[in-house]
Amino acid sequence: MACFVFDGVDFGEELEVASIEMGALPETTPDMRYAPGRDGAEMTDNRLEPLEIKIKARLVTDTIDERDIQRRWAEVAARLRTGEPRPLSLSEGKHWLAVLTDKSPLTFKTYSATAELTFICPDPIAYGIERTVTVPSGGSVTFNVGGTYNAKPKIEAQATRNASSLVWGIRLDEGDYIHVATGSDSARSVVLDCKERTCLVNSSVALPTLDSDWLELKPGTHTLRNDAGTGAATVAFTERWL
């Protein structure tokens, strides 16, 4: 269902959304490297650029005086001004982190005015549903990841290291894994944030083992297994959408 919610405020209750302008996908910028005497080029990167969203919104008032209409629009617009990107939702279950930018020109009509609001999303990938699954101690869990873009999980556990390998960890789909040396035979608090690429053991900064990978969850069905040490793990992730 369509909506217009920004920074926790439902602007759809006071503004009529006339139109929304945005690309089907964020703009891409292939990084091409050229070599003398060689045909074509080598692509070294293909990053996504920030996403721009333009919303034309109409405010209805009980006055025909443009000065009064502008003042009322300014009162609404003041709540759209933020110092950093905040959640912008135009449909239920999905939001971007956006900030209002550029000019917001007004077009006046009797008893109303329409403004063009331009939002920029430094992170062009939208956020969807937050999910949590539990990997049992010594066991595994199979689950589905929605969205259209890779999600990066946060893993929290009371972990006890393996007696021989001296590490605790989990493995994704019998492939990539992330292990950490807990430094003790007793259970330790372990927090692995694959998005921020941070690792904490008993609240102290640590590092995963050198052969570990920061896990990413592609859309689809996955299995996570506790493959080193013991201790159940809570795995939280947010589905992402192009």
Each residue's pLDDT tens digit, 184-233: 878 889 999 999 999 999 999 999 999 999 999 999 999 999 999 999 99
Q: Where are the alpha helices (DSSP H) in 33-91?
A: 66-77
| pLDDT score of 184 | 80
Q: Measured between alpha carbons, how far is 82 from 121 in angstroms, rounded to an integer?
A: 13
Which pLDDT does position 122 carry in this prediction? 96
DSSP state of 203: T
Q: Which two tokens stand for residue 95?
A: 């939001």
CA distance 62 to 58: 13
Q: DSSP character for 151? A: B
What are 118's strand-pairing partners? 54, 101
Residue 164 is predicted with a pLDDT of 84
Classify 54 as helix, strand or coil. strand
Q: Domains in the chain, ordered, with CATH?
A: 2-124 (2.40.30.200), 127-241 (2.60.120.860)
Amino acid residing at 102: D
CA distance 35 to 24: 33
Longest Cα separation, the chain: 80
Non-local CB neighbours of 118 within 8 Å, separated by 6+ positions: 52, 53, 54, 100, 101, 102, 103, 104
- Chain mean pLDDT for the chain: 92
Residue that has been written with the tokens 């927090």 in this structure: 191
Q: In angstroms, rounded to a whole number, what is the distance separating the alpha carbons of residues 224 and 241?
A: 22
Residue 135, H or E segment: strand 126-135
Give the pLDDT score at 1: 63
Q: How far is CA 239 from CA 30, 50, 147, 181, in A?
A: 25, 19, 5, 29
Per-residue pLDDT of the chain (242 residues; tens, 9 = 90+): 678 999 999 998 889 999 999 998 888 888 888 888 888 888 888 889 999 999 999 998 888 988 988 999 899 989 999 999 999 999 989 999 999 998 888 888 888 899 999 999 999 999 999 999 999 999 999 999 999 999 999 999 999 888 888 899 999 999 999 999 988 878 889 999 999 999 999 999 999 999 999 999 999 999 999 999 999 999 999 999 99
Residue type, 81: R
Amino acid at 188: R
Q: What amino acid is encoded at 215 in this protein?
A: L
Question: What is the structure's pLDDT at 103?
Answer: 86
